Amino acid sequence: MSIEIHGADIYTAAEKNGSGINEILDFSSNINPLGIPDSVKSACINSIEYSNRYPDINSSELIRSIASVEKVPTSFIFASNGAAEAIYRIAFFLMPKKGLVTAPAFSEYESALKAVGADINYYNLGEEYEFKINDNILNHINNDTDIVFLCNPNNPTGQITDIKTTEKIIDKCMKSGATVVIDECFLDFVENKESLSSVRLMNKYDNLIVLKAFTKIYAIPGIRLGYCMSSKRDVINGLKSSGPPWNVSNIAQAAGIAALKEREYVSRTVSNVKEQRNYMISELNKLNIKAYNSNANYILFKIFNDVDLKEELLKKNILIRSCSNYKNFDRSYYRIAVKSKNENKLLIKALYEIREML
């Protein structure tokens, strides 16, 4: 059985298979299948010319662009070296003693909490509730809770939390003195994202931090760019001082400014992902596989036979994400990205080839 912390490790997979990195078909990381927009590529290339200078320490132009797209003041924004960096800065600035995370969820919330010595409580997302958060989570928040991490849509389940439930959680935390971090790194892939986003709630609740990434939606995991937002000035200042300066490179700043102009690309992505996700879910369910509904650009599924599906597919140079290291999951659970039509067909074909094992 293979244990992994994250998907996306095509390097180890290629080494193991004795193949080139480009030969691995990577379904383990959830990156926009439309690829990097050309304008973003050009902006990165042009910015190399200025890499003999330090980057703007305040990421000023990038932050103005983010503010205009998010419709929030520039003072609400902290730009980070990928969303993961922001998660750790939040933990190191707030130094929570007790954190609440959902199980399963993106593992870096837990890792960042552990890094600052916090105790962790888990709110279990039951299969019987389709892995959705419900009001029962409120019973897990008490006066000892310092921070709550939520992910919307959740990774790896692809489930969304409605804004009313989200607001109840933030409200309860506000009253009990806890911070809520809502990770919306995959929300740009979701239809009607405006009605689901908690960004507007920042005006009402200063205990809310909203986290976003350029990584997934603009297909630039190698550039490292994310940001978080809060209406509390102390939080934004605290995040700045909780790590080294110049955390966002010239190249990343240029990429972000160009990416935020790509509005049509984002809406094309949403419809493309929806179509391919529906195709994949219906194809997976034709096999002896239970594919769960998803609102994001990835699909969680379960198999019923005792087989290491990741290993079997890797023999065919296809990398998927085993979910065996997520709390409450075991080796029967896997997550795949929704990729391009041709790539998706290749995965389905490969699954048919090993159909008798499933």
Ligand X SMILES: Cc1ncc(COP(=O)(O)O)c(C=O)c1O
> Measured from the CB atom, is 250 or 283 closer to ligand X?
250
Helices (H) and strands (E) in the chain — how many of each?
12, 13
- Interface pick for ligand X out of 43, 83, 210, 351 (rule CB under 6 A): 83
> Measured from the CB atom, is 314 or 337 closer to ligand X?
337
Q: For residue 113, give Cα distances in angstroms to 91, 144, 166.
A: 6, 15, 21
Q: For residue 27, state whether it binds ligand X (rule: CB under 6 A).
A: no
Provide the minimum distance between the beta carbon of 36 and ligand X in the complex, in angstroms, as a whole number: 14
Closest residue to ligand X, Cβ-based?
82
> Measured from the CB atom, is 106 or 301 closer to ligand X?
106
Q: Taking a C-beta distance cutoff of 8 angstroms, is the pair 7, 321 a contact?
A: yes
User: Is beta strand 289-291 parallel, antiparallel or unpaired with respect to 298-303?
Assistant: antiparallel
Q: Which region, judged by CB under 6 A, interacts with ligand X, from 76-84, 141-149, 272-280, 320-328?
A: 76-84
SS3 217: coil
Provide the minimum distance between the beta carbon of 49 and ligand X in the complex, in angstroms, as a whole number: 25
Q: For residue 256, state whether it binds ligand X (rule: CB under 6 A).
A: no
Q: For residue 153, state whether it binds ligand X (rule: CB under 6 A).
A: no
Q: For residue 10, state whether it binds ligand X (rule: CB under 6 A).
A: no
Q: Which amino acid, 70?
A: E
x/- map, 178-217, ligand X, by CB under 6 A: -----x-x---------------------------x-x--
Chain centre to alpha carbon of residue 255: 19
> Measured from the CB atom, is 172 or 216 closer to ligand X?
216
> Measured from the CB atom, is 153 or 351 closer to ligand X?
153
Provide the minimum distance between the beta carbon of 233 and ligand X in the complex, in angstroms, as a whole number: 24
Closest CA to 123 of 102, 94, 95, 150: 102
- Interface pick for ligand X out of 59, 65, 152, 155 (rule CB under 6 A): 155
Please list, in sequence order, all residues whose beta carbon lies within 8 angstroms of the beta carbon of residue 303, skipping any fewer than 6 positions away.
288, 289, 290, 309, 332, 334, 358
- Interface pick for ligand X out of 62, 84, 257, 266 (rule CB under 6 A): 84
Provide the minimum distance between the beta carbon of 357 and ligand X in the complex, in angstroms, as a whole number: 28
Q: Taking a C-beta distance cutoff of 8 angstroms, is the pair 185, 213 a contact?
A: yes
Please list, in sequence order, all residues whose beta carbon lies within 8 angstroms of the beta carbon of residue 86, skipping any fewer than 6 positions away.
78, 80, 211, 226, 227, 228, 239
> Measured from the CB atom, is 221 or 243 closer to ligand X?
221
Provide the minimum distance between the beta carbon of 142 and ligand X in the complex, in angstroms, as a whole number: 25
Q: Calculate ∠ Cα 83-192-156, nearest 5°.
A: 45
Provide the minimum distance between the beta carbon of 117 and ligand X in the complex, in angstroms, as a whole number: 22
Phi, psi of 154 (to 5 degrees): -75, 140
Q: Taking a C-beta distance cutoff of 8 angstroms, is the pair 100, 176 a contact?
A: no
Q: For residue 104, state whether it binds ligand X (rule: CB under 6 A).
A: no
Provide the minimum distance between the beta carbon of 222 and ligand X in the complex, in angstroms, as a whole number: 10
Q: Which region, judged by CB under 6 A, interacts with ligand X, from 82-90, 118-126, 188-196, 312-320?
A: 82-90
The rounded distance, in Å, linking the Cα atoms of 291 and 300 is 6
The rounded distance, in Å, linking the Cα atoms of 161 and 51 is 41
Q: For residue 32, state whether it binds ligand X (rule: CB under 6 A).
A: no
> Measured from the CB atom, is 211 or 351 closer to ligand X?
211
Tokens matching residue 108: 């870096």
Q: Which amino acid, 180?
A: V
Hey, what's the torsion of the CAs at 170, 172, 173, 176, to 10 degrees?
A: 160
> Measured from the CB atom, is 223 or 351 closer to ligand X?
223
Provide the minimum distance between the beta carbon of 183 and ligand X in the complex, in angstroms, as a whole number: 5
DSSP state of 160: -
List of residues contacting ligand X (CB under 6 A):
82-84, 106, 151, 155, 183, 185, 213, 215, 221, 226
